[in-house]
Amino acid sequence: MQLNPAYTDVVREVGEFFSERIRRLSDCGVGREQLMLDPGIGFGKTVEHNLQLLGTARSFTRFERPLLLGVSRKSFIGKLLGAEPAARLPGALACACLAVAAGVQIVRAHDVAETVQAMRMTEAILAKQNA
């Protein structure tokens, strides 16, 4: 999975995976209110796949479930920016802020204080944009 990720259309395929899993879980008696969705950034995906998922994260809001995104210190940031894990905070913050703007409600972070501050700033700007 990690060595040779293969998707024809990663965004469509992740969306189809979500639809199928929501349906299966519902059939097993799991209520939608018990679900959150995570597109799996970094898991079996290339740098390009991750960028596509991040760039279209808003498309997953159609499932009307909380979205979780884990981008903190991910290797795709390192590959794209040539940064070791300890130096990936700026890239992770950029991803987190764009995710908030796209409707992601939960962001997993190593650098919690910095991420919270960046997200609060993003939310304050977005609130004025939509005012």
Return the active site residues. Answer: 74, 108
DSSP 67: B
Q: Cα angle vertex 3, ends 106, 70, to 5°?
A: 10
Question: What is the SS3 assignment for 21?
Answer: helix
Based on its alpha-carbon atoms, the radius of gyration of the chain, rounded to whole angstroms, reads 15
Structure tokens at 105: 């409600």
